Amino acid sequence: MSVHLVGGGATSRADAPLYAPFVAEAVLRGGAAGRARPRIAVISLHPEAGEKAAALADLLVAAGSGGEIEVHLTAGRPGEPIGLTAIADVDAIAVGGGVVEDVRAGLEPLFGEVRRLVAGGVPYLGVSAGAMIAAEGSLGSGSRIGGVLVAPEDPEEPGVELEIEAGIGLVDVAIEAHVAERGMLSRLVAAVESGLVGGGLGIDERTALIVGDGGLRVEGSGSVWRVLPTDQGVLVSTIGA
């Protein structure tokens, strides 16, 4: 089974095909467990968690091409960790977006169990912040490194330093989201060049990076940007859909 990372923006029913590979893996996992309807945990720690969890669940249902799935919704609150029951006895795990620090903190008590389940064949879907925390080192929301501006920020807001926190550890490089749409490639380049992270993958909106036994696969309308360190600085390339 695979790790599915979506760069955000894919929120309409027209985007449902982007989630179809994840749902298909959930169906396979559920079938292996003897279930006709796979159980998918959908977790949101967005400020509008209830609405966002339901919207993601609707997209997964639509992505199933008419096949029935059983969705377990968890709408979290900032500062309140998600309990283990949210991912108990499920065939797939989907984590939505929000403020990346809040999403990481809310899921942190489950990191070990998520790793165990994914290693055992349960597919993981992360959208936006849910994708960013899948890495070993999770990028925060800061826009400066050493006080230097490395990403767009509100000129009326004081700059915040980019910090790296421990993520789930499903992929071994940092993940950036909303890359082309929000001008975040410069931040990923700066994070790699400065040594804050050893390498990174940046995912455009309406684009999914699928990490599985067969390597990397890209689906959707955008690109995945690969940023790797070199002796002279960094090397940037794209993995197209």
Query: In degrees, to the nearest 5, what angle opens at C-alpha 135 toward C-alphas 134 and 141?
Result: 90
Q: What pLDDT is attached to residue 66?
A: 64
Buried b (16+ CB within 10 A) or exposed e, 4-20: bbbbbbbbeeebbebbb
Q: pLDDT for 121-146, tens place per residue?
A: 999 999 999 999 999 999 999 999 99
Strands of the chain, DSSP E: 3-6, 39-44, 70-75, 92-95, 124-127, 137-139, 144-145, 148-149, 164-166, 174-177, 200-203, 207-212, 215-220, 223-230, 233-240
> Does the pLDDT of residue 158 top 90, yes or no?
no
pLDDT tens readout for residues 9-20:
999 999 999 999
Express as a percent the part of the chain with pLDDT over 90.
89
Encode pLDDT of 53-110 as tens digits. Answer: 999 999 999 998 767 899 999 999 888 899 999 999 999 999 999 999 999 999 999 9
The residue whose two tokens read 């931040």 is: 187
Element (H, E) at 106: helix 100-107
| pTM across the whole model | 0.96
Query: What is the domain partition of the chain in residue ranges?
Result: 2-239
Is the domain spanning 2-239 CATH 3.30.1600.10? The answer is no
At residue 241 the predicted structure's pLDDT band, cuts being 50, 70 and 90, is low
Nearest to 40 by CA among 4, 89, 3: 89
For residue 29, what pLDDT is reported? Answer: 95
| In contact, 208 and 5? CB cutoff 8 Å | yes
N- to C-terminal Cα distance for the chain? Answer: 20
Closest alpha carbon to 29 in 110, 96, 90: 90
Q: For residue range 209-232, what is the model confidence (pLDDT) as tens digits?
A: 999 987 899 999 999 999 999 999
The mean pLDDT value for 164-185 works out to 97
